[in-house]
Amino acid sequence: MILVPNHRPLLNGNKILLVLILAVLASCAKRTRPVVSLPPKETEKKEVPVKKEEAKAVVTHSIALILPFHLDQINPRNADLKTVRKADLAIDFYQGFKLALDSLSAEGNNYKLQVFDSQDNELQVVNLARARSVLNNDLIIGPIFPESIKTFGEFAELNNQLQVSPLAATDPEQFSNPKLVSLTNNIEQHGWKIADFINRNYKPASVNVLLINTRRNDEEKFAGPIRMFLKKMSNNGFTINERPNSIGLEDNLSVSKTNLVIIASSNRDFVLPTIDRLYKVSQGGTKIEVFGHPNWAKVQFLNAEKMQWLNTRISSSYFIDYKSASVKKFIARYSAAYGVEPTDYAFKAFDTGYYFGKLLSRYGDKYPLHLTDEEFSGLHNHLRFVKDEKSGYLNTELMILKYQGFELQVEK
């Protein structure tokens, strides 16, 4: 069971009701398991009644969920939809997380979920980091924004509990928190994934690697690791030709080898002309395969036909296969419970809640000792952690997506 109040399904646009409900989440009722009675045993002399089996102790795992609901900015008397929408991310995450615990509760597990509003405010985060009502939980999920994650980690005195960062893709080294669990891969890991894919699937002598990189700070964060890891993995077997833009790139393409073109940018004005130029060249028979920035998975301006023609691949922390039975089942459950379809945040929350809820049910307060042992395949991502003494626990699982059937699919 999960010790949070139940509420009626919400229709789209009626999120004000949930915001008000979350303000009184502290009121909850407990239930206990029934006492099981055994039938009396038969003996040769007489029936001896057997004492009722004592009820097993119910172990309840407590979880603190810290999200930016912005309740301090919402007046229940005059709140409009625009104001309430500030809480969209938090509401979607909360609903997905609670649905995961509901699923585990149906299997006989018990949880106490306490929800706190970070307000996306530094002072509020400091107060939460010092509050016993937060620190007395077995597990802390959140806050979710980088500055709040850092502030909470600096002021919270954690014992056996771990602090989970479910959404931020910030390099965990910036937080210097050995108790932090980072679920979302940082950009350096994406660079490693691309380099590893190229190293495992191509021979240096058969390809021409062209890196298009403006050397701007945000692009170099992606390009730098590719450059470093590819050379390291192959013992300098791959030669990387690098250009700042697509002007004159035809002179850097090979007519006899497969050209692996890595575009380090996600800027529309830079990417579209580059793709158009590569597509035009490839029409003449030049073999080109493109590797793009992970942010390409979120943009809408890419032409699927051109991307598929260029055998485009990107690395990604997650992928939701809407054709899979498990995803369809989750959507149906979520829609029935809340009256709307789940967003990406709801998927992320469900996987987070299910993985850590299961971990708590198996190992209790010893769960941190088993975090690196337990692998997990969820609705939208995979989790496999390694421990870093300074940065905490890092998820190492990434996938390669490729345009197939004019849409991105996981490459097997």
The pLDDT of residue 16 is: 47
Give tens-digit pLDDT for 248-258: 889 999 999 99
Instruction: Decide if 15-185+324-395 and 188-315 have a common fold.
Output: yes
The pLDDT of residue 350 is: 98
Name the DSSP letter for residue 166.
Answer: S
* Fold of the domain built from segment(s) 15-185+324-395: Rossmann fold (3.40.50)
Beta strand 288-292 with 313-316 is parallel
The pLDDT of residue 27 is: 30
CB atoms within 10 A of CB 250: 13
Query: Span 184-191, mean pLDDT?
Result: 95
CB atoms within 10 A of CB 231: 16
Query: Span 185-191, mean pLDDT?
Result: 95
Query: Span 191-219, mean pLDDT?
Result: 95
Q: Where are the domains of the chain?
A: 15-185+324-395, 188-315
Q: Among 32-36, 163-167, 189-193, 388-392, where is mean pLDDT lowest?
A: 32-36
Give tens-digit pLDDT for 305-359: 999 999 999 999 999 999 999 999 999 999 999 999 999 999 999 999 999 999 9
Q: Taking the CA atoms of 172, 89, 66 and 139 in sequence, report the sign of the dihedral they define.
A: negative
Q: Report which listed range, 33-37, 163-167, 171-175, is most confident.
A: 163-167
pLDDT of 217 > 90? The answer is no
CATH of domain 188-315: 3.40.50.2300
Residue 242 · residue 213 · CB < 8 Å: yes
What DSSP assignment string belongs to 240-263?
Answer: EEEESSSTTGGGG--SSSEEEEEE
